[in-house]
Amino acid sequence: MKTYHFSQALLPDGWARDVRIAVDGDGWIAAVQAGTPAAGAEAHAGIALPGLPNLHSHAFQRGMAGLAERRGTMEGNFWGWRDVMYRFLAVLDPDDVSAIAAQAYVEMVESGFTAVAEFHYLHHAPDGRPYSDIAEMAGAIGRAAAESGIGLTHLPVFYGFGRFGGGPTDPGQRRFVTGPDDFARLVEASGWALRGLPDAQVGIAPHSVRAVTAATLNAVVAAAGPVPVHIHVAEQQREVDECLAWCGRRPVDWLHDEAAVDQRWCLVHATQVTAAEVARMAASGAVVGLCPITEANLGDGIFPLPPFLEGGGRFGLGSDSNVRIDAAEEMRLLEYGQRLRDQARNIVAGGEGQSTGRALYDRALDGGARALGRRIGALAVGRRADIVLLDAEHPALGGRTGDHLLDGWIFAADGRAVSRVWVGGRPVVVEGRHVSRETVRRRFAATIGRLLAAQ
Ligand SMILES: [Zn+2]
């Protein structure tokens, strides 16, 4: 048992001072006590928050960050970006993926994300054949998670088809494609590959409405049992247009008509939706996975958050393409997109006098923990000891208390506000730096240098 003492902490029933948190040997919170002296505990004069879950990541895409920002040689839109991404991933081997993912995860933890849902579709060798261990790539992700310490919900992707209604895949998708039976083997083998990680979970991710049929979607969901189910949906207008042309329905409507969408599900993006679709998603209990930095980078559009929240909808945040990795920036950009569209301020805050930063944080904790299917997202007994410590001396935080601390971090601070991070009770960030930062950075730099030289 290890005991910590924090000068301020955000607990489930609100802010508290002089908080002792005891962590058991397996990384779970065993006791929380407010208003008590440090008395033998490891004392930190800072602000303790529950670590933020990152509900949507494609870790390998960190390696191509900034390489698709040039206009001219291809379509200046999402589909041109996807072509660049397909060329980048065509040659990656398991060690490359592990090196890139470790860099992404180190940056996540340094920014305040303590858990990640890895939406993992790079399954097979470059020629499209399965590795002799079908879960070789899941193992590569697991090694990166272990090195970074981040909590992992691994989501093997089911990618059955290349276009709506069961159309053929392209050569660029051959590393992703499986049939339902191979997919079931892959999910099981992924669980074995990750069994050494503390509290790792395995869910599933049907890639998108265009990569499944109703029959295969329901088959893989039924075979997986009670685990998280994540799916990309309605990210782009072209996707909506193609879905309408195929079946006369929009992707979010199709999904709710054809599958039993409930609170196990995470609907990623859902950018292009009607008011009726917003109401269906909110009523389903599913978490909507919003990825504001990536959605801005790819020009996806802005999610209609006010009607979704009024309908009781839940959301969490994801870093998706990992073009930038910053927990506070995801929250800030989510709110700013809404402000720019509505020409108004404090959109996510629930009512008069409420803090926007607090509303963003509470909702991202709740939606993220639910989407990851893990006991995280609160400093409370029985939850994982995932703790982010903000520096009380940071200029944007000094002299503040309560919700002003979250508003200061999200809207006014920079990346240096996070001073320490524990994941499962293990210290992984100390004085703002991940304990393996240099090792991981050097291997990442060598990997990227070799990959780009060969392009
Ligand atoms: Zn994605």
pLDDT tens digit string along 305-360? 999 999 999 999 999 999 999 999 999 999 999 999 999 999 999 889 999 999 99
> What domains lie within the chain, and their CATH numbers?
2-50+379-438 (2.30.40.10), 52-372 (3.20.20.140)
Q: Which residues are catalytic?
A: 269, 320
Type of residue found at 34: A
What is the rounded distance in angstroms from the CA atom of residue 240 to the CA atom of residue 261?
19
C-alpha span between 16 and 48 (Å, rounded): 10
CA–CA separation, 362 vs 398, rounded Å? 22
**pTM to 2 decimals?**
0.97
- Selection from 105, 113, 184 nearest residue 148 by Cα: 105
Dist. CA 23–CA 29, nearest whole Å: 5
pLDDT of residue 77: 74
424 CA from centroid of ligand 1 (Å): 26
d(CA 207, ligand 1 centre) in Å: 9
pLDDT tens column, 106-144: 999 999 999 999 999 999 999 999 999 999 999 999 999
pLDDT digit string, tens, across residues 224-258: 999 999 999 999 999 999 999 999 999 999 999 99
Q: How far is the CA of 195 from the centre of ligand 1 (A)?
A: 25
What letter does residue 366 receive in the DSSP assignment? H
Calculate how far, in angstroms, residue 18's C-alpha sits from the geometric centre of ligand 1. 40
Q: Report CA(325)–ligand 1 centroid distance (Å).
A: 14
| Average pLDDT of the segment spanning 364-383 | 98
Residues 191, 131: Cα–Cα separation, whole Å: 16
Residue 334 to residue 302: CA distance in whole angstroms: 9
The two structure tokens encoding residue 107: 């940056």
- The closest of 403, 453, 395, 385 to 50, measured between CA atoms, is 385
Q: Count of alpha carbons within 13 Å of 411, Cβ hemisphere only?
A: 15
